[in-house]
């Protein structure tokens, strides 16, 4: 009985920004738990390559390319997929970007792009998918937050602001949609070895600092996010709503 709570067989999961990095790892993990997968991104070639990799591992995979920052494109894509293919039972809002510049020099256009990619996309895709979930009376939404949801560090103040906003938007989703049978939660990674963090991974000085700062003493491996995502996507989290789970090697717990 206990293991069946985590079984995603018969469920379909849409993961935004899932052609690489954390999004791809979560898609692979949800597939291993039994879900059929819908990969999203803007680069169709990268999406198809990712899909072929997962299909080669035995996963059932579809691709749904759309720009998560474009409200009308999101609605058209989601509504069309639901009508033609079937329900999206799980949504993982993973699309995001980073831009590193001291705040006093931070370009206004980069700030706006961060707002659209990291916050507006969660609203656009979350709303489009939730409308169908509400009709069915069930659904799981997992918004990818960050250790920067709780902490700040130099050079990424706007990114920190966006990830704080994602956490509060998650609370708002839960507040509005729990009564309709939806569970909406956040998953907040610490420092993981991903393409988004390549500049930091390649910096020996930063890696030394991170190893000393993190109680676990190392970078995270993206596969270490999978268990929490499965939990938040499954029946095991049926009364978990509006919370953010930090998977960070203890960095937010320690000074």
pLDDT (tens digit, 9 = 90+) per residue, 95-119?
999 999 999 999 999 999 999 999 9
CA distance 168 to 244: 10
Distances (CA, A) of 10 to 7, 59, 67: 9, 12, 27
Which pLDDT score, from 0 to 100, does residue 197 have? 87
pLDDT for 224-234, tens place per residue?
A: 999 999 999 99
Which pLDDT score, from 0 to 100, does residue 140 have? 99
CA distance 181 to 171: 15
Which pLDDT score, from 0 to 100, does residue 94 have? 98
The rounded percent of the chain whose pLDDT value lies above 90 is 96
Whether domain 3-248 has CATH 3.30.930.10:
no
CA distance 7 to 236: 9
For strand 182-189 and strand 61-63, is the pairing parallel, antiparallel, or unpaired? unpaired
DSSP E strands, the chain: 12-15, 36-39, 61-63, 90-93, 139-144, 182-189, 244-247
| Catalytic annotation present for 159 | yes
82: tokens are 């639901």
pTM above 0.85, yes or no: yes
* Range 16-37 average pLDDT: 97
Kindly name the residue from 81, 106, 159, 192 that is annotated as catalytic. Answer: 159
Check: CB of residue 33 under 8 Å from CB of residue 55: no
CA distance 183 to 202: 37
Check: CB of residue 196 under 8 Å from CB of residue 182: no
Q: Is the pLDDT of residue 156 over 80?
A: yes
CA distance 238 to 234: 7
Which pLDDT score, from 0 to 100, does residue 177 have? 99
CA distance 239 to 255: 31
Closest by CA position to 116, among listed 105, 127, 124, 128: 124
Give 218's pLDDT tier (boundaries 50, 70, 90): very high
Which pLDDT score, from 0 to 100, does residue 115 have? 98
Which pLDDT score, from 0 to 100, does residue 1 have? 57
Which pLDDT score, from 0 to 100, does residue 195 have? 83
Give 19's pLDDT tier (boundaries 50, 70, 90): very high
Give 3's pLDDT tier (boundaries 50, 70, 90): confident
Distances (CA, A) of 121 to 63, 135, 223: 18, 22, 24
């Amino acid at each position: 009985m206990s293991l069946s709570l985590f079984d995603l067989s018969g469920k379909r999961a849409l993961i935004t920004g899932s052609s690489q990095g954390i999004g791809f790892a979560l898609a692979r993990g949800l597939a291993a738990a039994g879900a059929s997968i819908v990969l999203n991104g803007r680069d169709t070639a990268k999406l198809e390559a990712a899909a072929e990799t997962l299909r080669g591992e035995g996963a059932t995979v579809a691709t749904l390319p759309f720009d998560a920052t474009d409200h009308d494109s999101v609605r058209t894509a989601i509504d069309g997929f639901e009508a033609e293919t079937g329900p999206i039972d799980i949504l993982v809002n993973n699309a995001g970007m980073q831009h590193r510049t001291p705040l006093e020099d931070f370009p206004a256009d980069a700030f706006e792009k961060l707002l659209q990619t990291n916050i507006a996309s969660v609203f656009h895709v979350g709303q489009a998918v939730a409308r169908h979930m509400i009709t069915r009376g069930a659904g799981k939404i997992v918004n990818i937050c960050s250790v920067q949801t709780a902490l700040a560090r130099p050079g990424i103040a706007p990114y920190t602001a966006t990830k704080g906003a994602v956490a509060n938007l998650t609370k708002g989703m839960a507040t509005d949609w729990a009564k309709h049978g939806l569970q909406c939660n956040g998953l907040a990674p610490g420092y993981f070895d991903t393409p988004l963090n390549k500049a930091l991974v390649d910096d020996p000085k930063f890696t030394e600092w991170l190893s000393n700062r993190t109680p676990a003493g190392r970078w995270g491996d993206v596969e270490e996010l999978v268990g929490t995502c499965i939990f938040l996507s499954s029946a095991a989290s049926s009364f978990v709503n509006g919370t953010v789970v930090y998977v960070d090697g203890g960095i937010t717990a320690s000074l």
